[in-house]
Amino acid sequence: MANAILFLYGSLKHGGENHRLVADQVYLGPAVTEPGYRVVSLGRYPGLVEDAANGLAVAGELWQVSRCCLLELDDFEGGEGEWVRRPVAVAGREGVEAYFYDGPVPEGAPSGAGWPLK
């Protein structure tokens, strides 16, 4: 497996509390998804979800990560069993993946186009 391109939207971004996990990887710059997603507040962390009906273009960062880093992130993000890595549509890019929230979205949870929510 070669290096992967990840769309980061929450605690792994610059300034996020888990950024240390990607700090030694290659930052490719800011990015925005195609409309069709939403960042949902899950309390301390956000979760990216698909929203075909009312989706937004979500802002985040693109990172090129090594295979080793990707495997560590998979363990970290998948540890609670509620985040899964899968393809995400990012404007102007192919082959990008993100960690999607795969658990139940709390009723009435605030959501928006970026984290922290504004």
The CATH number of whichever domain residue 13 belongs to comes to 3.10.490.10
CA–CA gap between residue 64 and residue 67 (Å, rounded): 10
Ordered per-residue pLDDT tens for the chain, 118 residues: 579 999 999 999 999 999 999 999 999 999 999 999 999 999 889 999 999 999 999 999 999 999 999 999 999 998 767 899 999 999 899 999 999 999 998 899 999 999 999 7
Residue 118 lies in a domain: no
Residue 75 lies in a domain: yes
Residue 77 among the catalytic residues: yes
C-alpha distances in Å from residue 77, one per residue of 12, 52, 91, 94: 10, 24, 24, 22
Residue 24 lies in a domain: yes
The whole domain housing 94 covers: 4-112
Residue 93 lies in a domain: yes
Residue 77 lies in a domain: yes
Residue 46 lies in a domain: yes
Candidates 50, 61, 72, 77; catalytic one? 77
Residue 58 lies in a domain: yes
Residue 117 lies in a domain: no
Number of domains in the chain: 1
Q: How much is the pTM?
A: 0.94
C-alpha distances in Å from residue 27, one per residue of 14, 54, 62, 69, 100: 9, 30, 6, 13, 20
